[in-house]
Amino acid sequence: MRVPKQRGPVSGWVSAVMRGRNAEVPTLSAGSVIGDADVQLALWMIYELHYRGFDDVPDDVEWVLSLIQLRREIEVRFEAELRAAMAPLPTVADDLGQQILDIADADGGPSLALFLQREADAGQMCDYLRERSITQLKESDPHSFVLGRLEGLAKVALAELQYDEYGGGRLERLHAWLYAQALRAAGLDPTYGAYIEQVSAVTLATANVMSMFAMNRRFRAASMGHLAVFEATSSVPCRRIASGLGRLGFPREVAAYFEEHIEADAVHEQLAARDICATMAAEQPHLAPDILFGAATCLYLEGLAAADLLARWRVEERMAS
Amino acid sequence: MTHPISVRLCPDGPLLVRGADSVTDDTGVEHPVTRPVVALCTCGKSQRKPWCDATHKAIRR
């Protein structure tokens, strides 16, 4: 992948610095960073240096101080915005694992999956597949950064979950690979980062929050709380989406990705909530509120992403008329 | 090499099984295990039996 086209002054500055040019450091505007495509793309690009990097950027740009400084500045704003939106957090229950599953169950967000199952046209389905490619083509990669920060049963459970995500020793079961196959079968571009210039600010935010939680040790508990809710809100929607793909006559390879996640995530939600999160909280009770913060953040951002797509397709308007 | 099989029941949820090579369902059909841990349906409503597909959540509600 090459450095994406800038979306404003902040991503433009990141792009210039990555190519070794001197440029004046941009000031972040006062508004929301979650809804700012320029800022989210800038953050995504800085994180990407720690994943696959860019063909036209030297590897050692990963640790250029001015980029790390900007990343930090954006992260502080991103966290503050999320903390404000999530306040007040629920009280930590005795059975934190069950509490997380209950939080996921109580999700009252707009049902994107229901719309995709019953009403979406092929163009809207492709739109959804493109947006989701940003997180799914590096599915599970953020959480691999957390593995080294955990101990005991929580580490064992995350490793077990990741091994399944990474195909259990078989490339053809690697989830990110399955997603690339799904994109190809749907007639879309399976190349890593192909749609980064087109996706929405909130799609970038859903990807960035996972990297922010995974790459900062202080967010290790939030990262696992986020993972648990992500897994616990996946099986049923994946079943709906697979059914929608069948209704629209998409090739089998497209639904195969979602079908794999019906069974996989029914396992993973139990592992993540009970073996990872509940164990972490039992061993280090001070981490429990952050687990809940991560859990709530997942629902919040995924809800924004769903609302954003439904609004793009003018679904509410149509339903109201 | 034989692996010990472990089974755990999740409250209001599936049975988590580790170490099994296959699961035989109530009609005698054998289903190969293809992941490190599998979740078996205990509510009886899964559409992908013997595997759990999280349908139990809709029932509990």
What CATH number is attached to the domain comprising A113? Answer: 1.20.910.10
Q: Smallest CA–CA separation between B19 and chain A, in Å?
A: 12
Cβ atoms of B4 and B33 closer than 8 Å: no
User: A113 and A44: one domain?
Assistant: no
The half-sphere exposure of A219 on its side-chain side, counting CA atoms within 13 A, is 24
Q: Summarize pLDDT for A101-126 with one digit per residue, the tens.
A: 999 998 776 689 999 999 999 999 99
Q: Summarize pLDDT for A172-190 with one digit per residue, the tens.
A: 999 999 999 999 999 999 9
Burial code (b: 16+ CB inside 10 Å, e: under 16) for A46-78 equals bbbbebeebeebeeebeebeebeebbebbbebb
Residue A4 belongs to a domain: no
State the alpha helices, DSSP H only, in A36-111.
37-48, 65-86, 96-105
pTM of the predicted protein model: 0.95
Domain end position, chosen among A85, A103, A136: A85
Q: What is the pLDDT of residue A144?
A: 98
User: For the domain B6-60, what is the CATH code?
Assistant: 3.40.5
- Angle at the Cα of A53 (from A65 to A221), degrees rounded to 5? 70
User: A124 and A248: one domain?
Assistant: yes
Q: Smallest CA–CA separation between A168 and chain B, in Å?
A: 6
User: A96 and A198: one domain?
Assistant: yes
Residue A272 belongs to a domain: yes
User: A79 and A109: one domain?
Assistant: no
User: A106 and A134: one domain?
Assistant: yes
Q: What is the pLDDT of residue A313?
A: 95
Under an 8 Å CB criterion, which residues of B touch A? Answer: 10-11, 13-14, 16, 34-39, 47-48, 51-55, 57-58, 60-61
Smallest Cα–Cα separation from A151: which of A257, A284, A255?
A284
Question: What residues make up the domain containing A65?
Answer: 9-85
Domain count, chain A: 2
Q: Running DSSP on this structure, what letter comes out for residue B51?
A: B
Mapped onto helix, strand or coil, the DSSP state of residue B40 is: strand
- Domain spans of chain B, in order of start: 6-60
Domain end position, chosen among A85, A119, A150: A85
Distance CA A119, CA A315 (A): 10
Q: What is the mean pLDDT of residues A29-54?
A: 97
Residue A3 belongs to a domain: no
Q: What is the pLDDT of residue B58?
A: 82
Say yes or no to pLDDT of A307 above 50.
yes
User: A171 and A316: one domain?
Assistant: yes
Distance CA A136, CA A149 (A): 23
Q: What is the pLDDT of residue A321?
A: 45
Domain end position, chosen among A85, A110, A143: A85
Smallest Cα–Cα separation from A134: which of A214, A69, A208, A71?
A208
The full 3-state SS of A174-216, as one line of letters, equals CHHHHHHHHHHHCCCCCCCCCCCCCCCHHHHHHHHHHHHHHHC
Q: Running DSSP on this structure, what letter comes out for residue A87?
A: P
Say yes or no to pLDDT of A78 above 80.
yes
Q: What is the pLDDT of residue A85?
A: 97
Q: Summarize pLDDT for A216-271 with one digit per residue, the tens.
A: 999 999 999 999 999 999 999 999 999 999 999 999 999 999 999 999 999 999 99
User: A167 and A56: one domain?
Assistant: no
Residue A153 belongs to a domain: yes
Among the partner-chain residues A160, A168, A266, the one whose CB lies closest to the CB of B14 is A266
User: A51 and A98: one domain?
Assistant: no
Residue A211 belongs to a domain: yes
Smallest Cα–Cα separation from A265: which of A296, A246, A293, A242?
A242
Among the partner-chain residues B11, B53, B60, the one whose CB lies closest to the CB of A266 is B53
Q: Smallest CA–CA separation between A261 and chain B, in Å?
A: 9
User: A72 and A96: one domain?
Assistant: no
User: A196 and A262: one domain?
Assistant: yes
ipTM: 0.90
Q: Running DSSP on this structure, what letter comes out for residue B18?
A: E
Q: Summarize pLDDT for B31-61 with one digit per residue, the tens.
A: 999 998 999 999 999 999 999 999 998 876 5
User: A26 and A154: one domain?
Assistant: no
Mean pLDDT (chain A) is 95
User: A184 and A291: one domain?
Assistant: yes
